[in-house]
Chain A
Amino acid sequence: MKRLELWLYIAQRGSALVLAPLVLLHLGVILYAVSGGLTAAEILGRTRSSALWPAMYALFAVAAAVHGAIGLRVVIREWTAWQGRSLDLSTLAFALLLLLLGLRAVQVIA
């Protein structure tokens, strides 16, 4: 792909923009929700009450998969001798794995 590094850079910064508020929201919600003690059933009751929660966490999972895999690829390229097509495909597989695991978790709370 032409200018692959540039587009990966844009994807990583873009996913960071999505992640930053979501992480804060996620932490805030945890602190708020468990302050009075909460069971798993109650949490599920809330997350299933609105499509917004699973939608938010699906977006979270997508952004984390994109962001983490691109960062991992950069670290491996710079710190080891491994690069080229095999690294690209391996980190793409890592992104898909993260996405799969993330979306499975989202499916449970939906």
Chain B
Amino acid sequence: MTGTLKVEIWRGAEEGHFEAFEVPTQPSQTVLDLVTYVQRKLDPSLAYRFACRVGVCGSCAMMVNGTPRWTCRTHVNKVAAEGKVRIAPLRNLPVIKDLATDMAPFFDRMQEAKGRFVPSEAAAKDVAVVPPDDPKRKEAAAGIECIGCAVCHSACDVVAWRPDYLGPAALNRAWTLVNDVRDGDRQGHLAAVAVDAGCHACHSHQSCAEHCPVGLNPSRSIAGLKQLVLWAAVRGEL
């Protein structure tokens, strides 16, 4: 594969425009390679974010032809429709500059959803035995590999409609904690996601599951939370 590719990149912040660049094509080129080429060879003022380049850190997520993706794990030849790639900052987050978004609202949701481990007294005194085939351990394991890249947050239409919605990543995190036998505040986690813009605001569109680069299914986690919260509410525990 030789020649050049037309790459359109968002410039500016909330207000801005797409700027077109011609980038030489390479074999096995990733979208992150395109952005890096533009920044190093064509316009050093381009702002973007990356770290590991191999799909571990989750910091290079951007909108590629309208779809949220890890740019480091997206090969150009998979997405270059009609020899053109359009790269924009992640949806549903404030834009700082060009391709760099402000991730603070995303991580704020994690805190609001009480997405942090609360050690129980028993777990603090002794090593907890958690059999791998325990049903709750399996539920937690299914959601635990999230690296917080915000692709699901960006893919979610409910987040777009209701900016106060906790979002798939934060709710998925809460679900793993609710299923963690070492956690000492199950009621606290359930109360945190039973708020007005909590798990029940989810419409199960499953865009989060569709786009998660790690293949997680936050929709499923949220469905689990909905059920637990419903019964807790009916029993008067919330």
Which residues in A have some Cβ–Cβ distance to B below 8 Å? 3-7, 9-10, 13, 77-79
Contact = CB atoms under 8 A, between A and B. Distances in A.
Interface string B8-44: 0000000000000000000000000000000000000
B130 interface: no
Contact of A5 (B196, B230, B234, B238): B196
B230 A77 contact: no
A13 B202 CA distance: 14
B196 A7 contact: no
Contacts of A78: 158, 161-162
A93 to B, nearest CB: 21
Nearest to B157: A78
B238 A3 contact: yes
Q: How large is the interface on B (under 10, 10 to 19, 20 to 34, 35 or more residues)?
A: 10 to 19
Interface in B189-230: 194-198, 200-201, 226, 229-230
B229 to A, nearest CB: 7
Given A10-B230, A10-B233, A10-B234, A4 B196 contact: yes
Main secondary structure of the interface of A (DSSP, over half): helix
24 contacts: A3-B194, A3-B195, A3-B196, A3-B233, A4-B196, A5-B195, A5-B196, A5-B197, A5-B198, A6-B194, A6-B196, A6-B198, A6-B200, A6-B230, A6-B233, A6-B238, A7-B233, A9-B200, A9-B226, A9-B230, A10-B233, A10-B234, A78-B158, A79-B161
Given A9-B200, A10-B230, A79-B161, 19 more contacts: A3-B194, A3-B195, A3-B196, A3-B238, A4-B196, A5-B195, A5-B198, A5-B200, A5-B201, A6-B200, A6-B230, A6-B233, A6-B238, A7-B233, A10-B233, A77-B162, A78-B158, A78-B161, A78-B162
Contacts of A4: 196
Contacts of A77: 162
Contacts of B230: 6, 9-10, 13
A36 B27 CA distance: 72
Contacts of B162: 77-78
Given A78-B158, A78-B162, A79-B161, A6 B201 contact: no
B189 to A, nearest CB: 15
B117 to A, nearest CB: 24
A5 B165 CA distance: 12
A26 B144 CA distance: 46
Contacts of A3: 194-196, 233, 238
Contacts of A79: 161
Contacts of A9: 200, 226, 230
A4 B229 CA distance: 13
Contacts of B229: 6
A10 B235 CA distance: 13
Contacts of A13: 230
A63 B169 CA distance: 34
B235 to A, nearest CB: 12
A77 B194 CA distance: 18
A16 to B, nearest CB: 13
